[in-house]
Chains A and B, each alone.
Chain A
Amino acid sequence: MNKGQRKTHIIIWMVLAVCIPVGFISAIMVIPDKPMQEDVFLKNETVLEEISKEIVKDNLIVLIRNDKAKTSYQLQLLVSTPFKQADIGIYYSLRNKFDPLQSIYLGNLPPKGGKVFSLPSDEEFSDRIHIVLFDPIKNELINQIQIEL
């Protein structure tokens, strides 16, 4: 380098020594906060206080919940490893051989997290609950859970 080039270099770097940190800090300061919304209009069912049964099946923790009077029952499913299916329909099967159109559709389960589903009332209960996870889009059986009460 010659003298002129050296002078140019140091001037450039003195300018950059100011501009780069200023740009850097400004960019950090303007990172927007994620907008939060109080009510996202998701239906949240009240979880019943008592647990009458708890089992673990594959990537699910299965709980049967009931109220103190044992008049209402819920099925609570908690997902440990997320599902990969498009749709996870939860069915209350009335027969040993599962048929989606002959079962009671309780709702669909999100691929991760958990959800609570109302179970049919006490009169329709048998000693054994047969819950089926079925993907109605792919027509594929995902899992079956037999719960003895």
Chain B
Amino acid sequence: MLKGTHNHLIHNSMNKDFYIGYINKLPEGIAKRIKITILILISVFVLSGVGIAFHHQNISNSQFELGKLTTLEGYFFSEPVALIKVLEGKDIHGNLIFKSVPLVNYAKFGAEDLIRIYEEKNKTSLHGKKLKLIGTLLYDDGKSLFELTKREESILAVEVVSDYKLRQQIQPKIENLGIQSIKGEIIDSKCYFGAMRPGFGKTHRACAVRCISGGIPPVLAATNYDGAVNYFLIRGKEKQAINKEVLPYVSEPVSLKGELVKFDDWMVLYVDPATGIERQ
């Protein structure tokens, strides 16, 4: 092959417009056209990058304090899901008001197995006790969750609540709201409220399935016509976890029918997965 020895080609007027890739110096006309093409391509790429980036859908304000550990103190309850009640203050009547913070485990796993193993190992029940935990907060839209980042070592201290009056005050305030049908999207609470953005929709479906399958509490996110969103923890009719049963319906428009209960500051929907879930 006569590659590499074609510098004299540029003097051959016959071949001024003939492109040969392996010559060292291109004819002027071709070189100029190539430079213009490169500039056009760079402009197209940069403008496309800016243009496409401009048009992402709205990303939520959710936060996940990754790498930042927080110590949380509160009262542990296993219903409706494993959660810790953090004291917010006293209302005008002197009633203690709590924020219920559901617990989740590291990565795509729920906390219920971890709690159960801890209770079995220490031959104790954590229900109704005051816990001091260390982990990672995630939150959005007024809801918070707490990741037990250090697994069993996240439980720093356990204290029995000996004061009777306090024991009464920390009990959940339950309000039955009857059988309701609610339309929305089943999301996994960990990703939606902070661990991933966006934590909902079809592109997130696979992750939501993994999280819910791993034990993270599934939640129905429902939006009204004013754009306000409310969240409903999903449990089975017998108050059991129905994570596996809801998997085929995650991240799709669905309607859930079941008994609606207000559990302090969380809504819970007790659903029979065989009959209570309908695709929209």
Contact = CB atoms under 8 A, between A and B. Distances in A.
B61 interface: yes
Contacts of A105: 88-91, 97
Interface stretch (A7-15, A31-39, A63-71): A31-39
9 contacts: A32-B253, A35-B183, A35-B184, A36-B183, A38-B224, A40-B228, A87-B86, A91-B89, A137-B144
A83 B232 CA distance: 23
Contacts of A42: 224, 228, 230
B223 interface: yes
Given A42-B230, A136-B89, 18 more contacts: A34-B253, A36-B223, A36-B225, A37-B182, A37-B222, A41-B230, A41-B267, A84-B63, A87-B88, A87-B99, A91-B89, A101-B90, A103-B90, A104-B92, A108-B99, A111-B61, A120-B92, A136-B87
Interface stretch (B106-114, B116-124, B135-143, B205-213): B135-143
Nearest to B253: A35
B229 interface: yes
B162 interface: no
Interface in B210-237: 222-225, 228-230
Contacts of B180: 41
Interface of B: 61, 63, 70, 72, 86-92, 97, 99, 101, 137, 139-142, 144, 177, 180, 182-185, 222-225, 228-230, 252-255, 260, 262, 267, 280
Interface string A51-82: 00000000000000000000000000000001
Contact of A136 (B63, B88, B140): B88
Contacts of A32: 252-253, 280
